[in-house]
Structures are given as C-alpha cells and as structure tokens.
Amino acid sequence: MGEPADVSGYEAPPLARLGSLTFFTGVAALGICAIGGFFSPAQFFHSYLVAFVFWAGMALGCLSIVMLQYLTGGAWGLVLRRVLESGTRTLPLVALLFLPILFGLGRLYEWSHAEEVAHDPLLSHKAAYLNVPFFIGRTIFYFAAWLAVAYFLNKWSLEQDRGGDRRLSRKLQLLSSGGIVLYGLTVTFSSIDWVMSLEPHWYSTMFGVLFIAGQGLSALAFVVAVTILLARRQPMRDVVSAKHLHDWGKLLLAFVMFWSYVSFSQYLIIWAGNLPEEIPWYLKRLQGGWGWIGLALILFHFLLPFLLLLSRTGNENPRLLAFVAGLVVLMRLVDVFWLIAPVFSQSEVHLHWMDILAPIGIGGLWLAVFLGQLRKRPLLPVGDPHLQEALEHGTH
C-alpha cells in the first residue's frame, strides 16, 4: 500500500432501521415476559437473570478486549476497535437493566431471607458478606468502576480521532493497564455475587476466571461476526483482508481453548476432590437431562469451533468464520443457562418460554443501543498513529 489511505469517510452504513427493529422486538419480548411475570414471578426473575448475565457479559467482554488491544497492540484489534467501543457504551443500559434483579432478590437468593440465614450455620457465617445492603453496595461499585473506565477509554479515543495527539496513546495504555486489573477483580466478585451465591453452600476458586474467559469469548465472537458483516460492503470491504480474518480466527481459537481449559480444570479439581459440599453442583448439572446440555457444550462450544478454526483455509473464509463466531455466541448463552437454570430446577431440564423471550428482550434493547453507538463514530480509529500499519497489514 503506497499512499496513506483516506479513512476519514469510513462511516458505518445506515443502521437506523435495523436498530428500530431490534428495539421494538426487545420491548415486545420484555413486555410479554412482564405479563408472564404477573402469573409466574419466580420464573420471570429466573429467566431474566440468565438473560442479564449473558448480555452484561457481552458488554464487559468488549471492555476487556479493548483494554487488551491497547496493551498488546496489533492490527487485529485496530480494525475491531470501533465495534468493541460501541459495545462498551452499552454499559449504562446494562446498569439500568440490573434494576429488576433488585426487586427479585428474594426470589433468587436464599441468603436474602433472614429466617433462612438464622437456621443455617453456614449462611450465618457468610452473612457479613452475603446481605442485601452490602450486595447492592458492591453492585453499585462494580458499575461505577466499569462505567468510569469505559467513559475515559471512549473519551480519549474520540479526542485522538480529532487531534491525533500521540500522548493520548500512552494515556490509553496506562488506563488499560490498571483497568484490566480492576476488570478482573470486579468480574470475579460480581460473578460470585450474581451467580455463585445462588447456591451459597457451594464455592469454586475458578468461577471468576470462568466468567472472565466466557465474557472475552462472547465479545470477541460477536464483534468478529459484526465486522465480517460490515465488510460485505464498502468502505470496510477494502479494509478487512484475509490476514485480518486469519488473525481473528486464531485469536478466537485461543479464546475457545482458554475457556475450555478453565471449564475442564474446574471440573477436574472438584471431581477429584470429591468433597460433599462441591460435588453436588456438578451432579445437578449432569443428571435429569442437564447432562445432554453439557454434552452439547463440549461438542458445539469447544470441539466443532476447535476443528473448524484449526485450518488456515477455515480462518480466512469469511462465511465460515462468521458461522463459527455466531455458533460460539449462541453456545455462550447455552452455557450461561446451564450454569444458572439448574439452581431453580427440581431435577429435569425445564425450558420455559420466558427462557427464550428474556434473552431476546434484553438482547433487542442491547443491540439497539449498540447499533446506535456504532453509527456515531467512523468505523476506524482515524487518529490512531498505528492505523496505517494496520491497513497495510492485509497487503503483506
């Protein structure tokens, strides 16, 4: 590539109609769920929690990968950055969507009932941490931290576009270095609060890492699929090359393997330990039909993506890579369902219609905000000093 490319016109395609469609679909789905909640409030909160954890993880995963890209550099991330940043700017919506969970604490968490705590020695021992005021306070802190990091990442990135000041690159790297540590700590504790405390007698030291791996995998698969769709038309068609696709495919393969490694490590440690307070968690998820979902996760969350992403041909085929990315996103939702839903099931797998509509509802609103944010900035970080290098990456 000889002369520097003119990237000032790399705007997102018209997305208003698609954003409106996802918004009204989300509102309609959540409205139907709300009506169902009048007749089955417990089921509403159970389904809503699964949907919330999945879509919150998508936004947080985008935040983590943006910071990872600032710290490591690389042409792969510069082309994805605007899509990732749009995902981080959905965090205010995610914070708002947490409010219904506050109203359902009593139907979700047994430690929120004083009478349950009084008659359970273990819950009494954990009451200093697992209590409603402290739970709410921690959640406020989590969102405040995430929103602050996302705000400055997006603010300085926009300033870099307008002025091209190289000092902003250093500021973004410094923020990301501290932000990635803060992200790891807050996601670990939020996963304990929101999910692990559903079964307060069980614990796992790998649980936070499992959520970190899952969030990163969800976000990477999503933004790769979106970017490939954007590359089907100008101007991104001239930007995304086979080398970019290859990089994304290999990175997606690495994330799939990391998630699989963490998941298997947790299983191996708990099963080998054979402790009565740990083993029942897996027994519940391997019996009564839940084991078939676990098998589906092995086949379609790990094995099939692993095999398809191994070859260079598969990585550089945009349709195949988009298919794998979409499959991973779908299986990430199945994984979150498998982690949470057995808590509220007696024994057999029970798929309620709200388990389907709740993710569609929250997802419709999330996608509407995401698409709206994607339209607000050029599709490439035009002020980044390494942009030209990233564009030339595909020509070598």
Query: Are the C-beta atoms of residues 383 and 162 closer than 8 Å to each other?
Result: yes
Percent of the chain with pLDDT over 90: 76
Minimal CA–CA distance to 356: which of 371, 339, 334? 334
Q: Are 91 and 150 in contact (CB under 8 A)?
A: yes
Query: Would you state the pLDDT for residue 260?
Result: 97
Mean pLDDT of 98-113: 96
Q: Name the more confident of 362 and 165.
A: 362
Q: How confident is the model at residue 53 (pLDDT cuts 50, 70, 90)?
A: very high
Whether pLDDT at 4 is above 60: no
The answer to whether 317 touches 202, Cβ cutoff 8 Å, is no
Over the stretch 226-249, which tens digit does the pLDDT of each residue have? 999 999 877 788 888 889 999 999
**Dist CA 44 CA 51 (whole Å):** 11
Tens digit of each residue's pLDDT (9 = 90 or more) over 274-294: 888 889 999 999 988 999 999
Q: Is the pLDDT of residue 3 over 60?
A: no
Average pLDDT over residues 244-268: 95
Would you say the pTM of this structure is higher than 0.85? yes
CA-derived radius of gyration, the chain: 21
| Selection from 142, 138, 147, 144 nearest residue 88 by Cα | 147
